[in-house]
Amino acid sequence: MGAMLDGCRVLDLTTERGFLCGQILGDLGADVIKIEPPAGDRARAMAPYFRGEAGPDKSVLWWSFNRNKRGITLNIETGEGRELLLRLAAGADFLIESFNPGHLSRYGVGHADLMRVNPALVHVSITPFGQSGPKAAYEDSDLIIMAAGGVLILYGDEDRPPIRMSVPQAYLHASVDAAGAALIAYYERLKSNFGQHVDVAAQESVTLAAQSTPLTALVGGSETRRMAGGAKMGAIRIPLVWAAKDGQVSCVMLFGPALGPFTRKLMDYIHAEGGCDDATRDKDWIEYGAQLLSGAEPMSAYERITGQVAAFFRSRTKSELFEAARKHNLLIAPVATIGDVLENPQFIDRDYWREVEHPELGVALRYPGPFARFGATPIAYRRRPPKIGEHNREIYLDEMALGEARVAELARRGII
């Protein structure tokens, strides 16, 4: 049995805003053709680099999101480039791009132009704020989109302005949404025989990822506020990340019928280890939140308890706390470093990591594994990320039959 999207062709014109979308479709078996300007995509100049050596084929960021793609170069801002793109689009199932609204239309390859040559094409646009609306033409960055989506307000220390996440997230959310949306549109096309324009806005994707926070505000609930290593619910400061002897652990110490029983188990464990007294252990952890909010239990008592828990965690290693969690059914998990992730026994047992050969470097590199496991049609890493124009001859000569002289002329003039 072949891969899920065997026989499907994707034209990938995305920048780093949408690389992941094309990679997901490629992982599912589609023939993804990454189309770059003749000088190469700008992401090829983004660090980090393999062994610290800058170069267009050494960007680790580029590698991270462009496997399972073939690569060609094409200047779509020229008339001949436009014609070549439309010719490619005529035989494609998907075209994904992440240009600002209106960019492709200026060069005669906008949605209406694409539909004229291929009414069955699924055209996916990934933009900061969508194709329409007062912000459609705004400039963006990951920081701007996270701020506009309402998520940034939860990052950082409570007594300082919010801070950006160290790893950009907004377009990863948007790219995953775009891949899912592309498949839904393709499924509809199988019935109707017509494609459509899929408009994905990163701001909207980020807001959807904010869990219950937007709805809580809409229904007048207590707004979640940021706190370093936790959150604030009204006057209650809720630590969620705690210092251990050799790093940090995540631990949920909350109240109510769902989580209160776990807090009781935690306090039983800490008491047995000499970390708290009988009265602290025996608090009513089901009703404790209500007692704090009503004033029946002073906030100072809660702060004393969290201080005791913090001191106890600092006296134990991550491994010791995790073993206790497994033994006593506690909501404690180590905060893994990247080194911990690479050596994680669960990943190793499930054969998660994938070795991808880079013959031009003389090495095989370890890549993160498939995003999902399919019993009948497993994801395979068929191709390493392409070099600049690596498949120009394969596509322009072998598949489009442009001829040697024509391809050479187009290359000389900077069209491909």
Map tokens 């906008």 to a residue. 110
Kind of pairing between the strands at 197-201 and 122-127: parallel
Q: What is the mean pLDDT of residues 368-397?
A: 96
Sign of CA dihedral 150, 156, 160, 162: negative
Q: Compute the distance between CA of residue 361 and CA of residue 353 in angstroms, rounded to an integer.
A: 19
Whole-number pLDDT of residue 226? 65
Say if residues 384 and 66 touch (Cβ distance below 8 Å): no
- For residue 408, the Cα-to-chain-centroid distance in whole angstroms is 39
pLDDT score of 399 more than 70: yes
Domain boundaries in the chain? 9-209+349-412, 222-335
Measured CA distances, 364 to 313, 352, 353, 356, 361 (Å): 40, 16, 12, 5, 8
Measured CA distances, 366 to 32, 261, 353 (Å): 22, 42, 6
Whole-number pLDDT of residue 16? 95
Pick the CATH number of 9-209+349-412 from 2.170.270.10, 3.40.50.10540, 3.90.25.10, 3.40.309.10: 3.40.50.10540
pLDDT tens, position by position, 347-359: 999 999 999 999 9
Structure tokens at 306: 């969290």
Q: Compute the distance between CA of residue 120 and CA of residue 107 in angstroms, rounded to an integer.
A: 21
pLDDT tens, position by position, 129-186: 999 999 999 999 999 999 999 888 877 777 788 878 778 999 999 999 999 999 999 9
pLDDT tens, position by position, 7-20: 999 999 999 999 99
Q: Compute the distance between CA of residue 365 and CA of residue 384 in angstroms, rounded to an integer.
A: 10
Helix axes 170-192, 19-27, angle to 10 degrees: 50
DSSP secondary structure letter of residue 229: T
Rg (CA), the chain: 26
Whole-number pLDDT of residue 210? 81
Structure tokens at 145: 């989109």
Task: Determine the longest span between alpha carbons in the chain, in angstroms.
Answer: 87
Beta bridge partners, 124, equal 96, 198
- The letter for the amino acid at 373 is R
pLDDT tens, position by position, 238-279: 888 999 999 999 998 999 999 999 999 999 999 999 999 999
Whole-number pLDDT of residue 134? 97
pLDDT tens, position by position, 38-97: 999 999 999 999 999 999 999 999 999 999 999 999 999 999 999 999 999 999 999 999
What's the pTM?
Answer: 0.89
Q: H helices of 28-101, where?
A: 60-64, 79-90
Whole-number pLDDT of residue 230? 61
pLDDT tens, position by position, 279-306: 999 999 999 999 998 999 999 999 999 9
In the predicted model, what is the mean pLDDT of the chain?
93
Instruction: Note if the bond before 48 is cis, omega within 30 degrees.
Output: yes
Percent of the chain scoring above 70 in pLDDT? 96
Long-range contacts (CB closer than 8 Å, 24 or more residues apart) made by 140-148: 140/202, 142/168, 142/169, 142/170, 142/171, 145/170, 145/171, 145/202, 145/203, 145/206, 146/170, 146/206, 148/203, 148/206
Whole-number pLDDT of residue 272? 97
Whole-number pLDDT of residue 142? 94
pLDDT tens, position by position, 208-243: 888 777 777 777 776 666 656 666 666 778 888 999
Whole-number pLDDT of residue 228? 63
DSSP secondary structure letter of residue 361: T
Whole-number pLDDT of residue 233? 67
Q: Compute the distance between CA of residue 135 and CA of residue 199 in angstroms, rounded to an integer.
A: 14
Q: Compute the distance between CA of residue 125 and CA of residue 207 in angstroms, rounded to an integer.
A: 18
Say if residues 367 and 340 touch (Cβ distance below 8 Å): no
